[in-house]
Amino acid sequence: MPLPKPLPVLTRLPRRRLLQHAGLLAAGIAAPAWAQPGKSASRSLIVAQVVDFSQAQQDVSKDFLIGSRAAWQDINAKGGIRGRRIEHQTLETDGTPAGLKAALDSVRDNPACVALSGSVGDLVAGQVVEQSHKSGLTMAHVAPWLQNSSLEIDDKTFPIFAARQEQIAYALKTLSTMGLKELGAVYATAQDYSAYRADVERITAGLQLKLQSFKGADDLRALGQKLTPRTPAVLLFVGGTPELAEFTQGLEKQSRQRYIVALADVNLTTMLQMGAARNTPVIATQPVPLVNASLPIVRSYRETLARLFDEPPAALSLAGFIAARYTYEVLSEVDGPLNRQTVLGAFQRRGAMNMGGFSVSFNPQRRSSTYVTQSMMTVDGRLIG
């Protein structure tokens, strides 16, 4: 059976506008599976991936989805699971609760769909947890891109990536020599402020840091220009890559040296391509290994991505690849028939696992990883890591 065609290469700039077309592409690929919910007699098993293609999340979702697609295509090329092909079904949403409900309803009554894997981005991943609980959807929700460290995790959700709390703590260790006592939190949009402020305030209180918060609006460049000498030197940026690029442009003429801590939704290479100012150091955390690492899982990712997609390696697509591989590894260990009940049971019984250098083990709060790495844009615009 021929492999599904990869996504076409998307010009990076202007990324927000161009990526609107990626959502339409994903919908076109997913449509046949949505339209045929009665295909349970097929030899294929369905693993569904909820993807938020709203304007605010599409750059994150596009990279993550490419990594997952690469993994599933490679898995199927090597025989699937016990000779059965895995149908990787994309459930596109617009980021709204109603859009997510429609996506989940499309697979709820299809017994061939045995798991949800790699829900992305953060807001929709949290909504999947909440809506599945409220609606009684008994299906494993595996390796979501769940950054919210305050969300209570149920026994059907299996997050394998370090959340916001671990990422912030890791990045601030790098700056500990500065005697850090206060932190500025810059939220790219009003939605980011509403969704993440409580989580960030809880985390910084735990680190015993004084916090100043800044809510972005339509002009992040202007917000950067308005910062005063009394604003903290270290700024935590909560938002996406295009917004961060714009914000750094506002800092360009500031007399005080600033340091920005960005979280896992940011791609530093893309940020530079989008015209970010290069005189403000940016530390970007990621809950996966560096894409140039020599770990077996990363080498496999780079080889698979190069073979199937004309896209450069990126931390977000590596995360999507790892999410799919972890799902596959546990599915492969299921004894007996593969259905929702046996698959959910396998994930609930899962032990510690090392996937080519990326370790997964769960704590009593049902969270897994504290694994965090970081890359950095230096004051002269060089990328390290």
pTM over 0.85: yes
Is 12's pLDDT higher than 60? no
Confidence of residue 3 (pLDDT cuts 50, 70, 90): very low
CB crowding 3-41: b at 16 or more within 10 Å, else e: eeebbeeeebeebbeebeebbebbeebbeebbeebeeee
CATH 3.40.50.2300 for domain 164-286, yes or no, is yes
Range with the lowest mean pLDDT among 27-41, 98-112, 177-191, 276-290?
Answer: 27-41
pLDDT tier for residue 175 given thresholds of 50, 70 and 90: confident
Residue limits of CATH 3.40.50.2300 in the chain: 15-161+292-360, 164-286
Answer whether CATH 3.40.50.11540 is correct for domain 15-161+292-360.
no
Q: ∠ at Cα 233 (169, 221), nearest 5°?
A: 105
Give the residue from 371, 351, 348, 375 showing the smallest Cα distance to 361. 351
What is the three-class DSSP state of 71? Answer: helix
- Determine the Cα–Cα distance for residues 351 and 372; give it in Å rounded to an integer: 21
